[in-house]
Amino acid sequence: MRPAKKSDAEETLQIAIPLVTKKSLRMKSAESGKTMRVIVLKALAKAGIRVPHDEVQDRRKVK
């Protein structure tokens, strides 16, 4: 059995959120330099949802 890759252990979550919320998230992302994914994962963790620590990081390639 091969070890699981991060992409093997991920699922896509699609939710509908208010437009004002998405705009606010986009603004927070631009201001902080963090991805929307990182901001949402941190908020979920703060709310008591289990989030693997190593997943709360920017996965964009740094030039």
pLDDT tens digits for range 22-56: 999 999 999 999 999 999 999 999 999 999 988 88
Distances (CA, A) of 17 to 12, 14, 20, 36: 16, 10, 8, 13
* pLDDT recorded at residue 16: 98
Give the per-residue pLDDT at 8. 60
Residue 4 has pLDDT above 80, yes or no: no
Look at residue 21 and tell me whether its pLDDT is greater than 80. Answer: yes
Question: How much is the pLDDT for 56?
Answer: 83
- State yes or no: pLDDT of 10 exceeds 60: yes
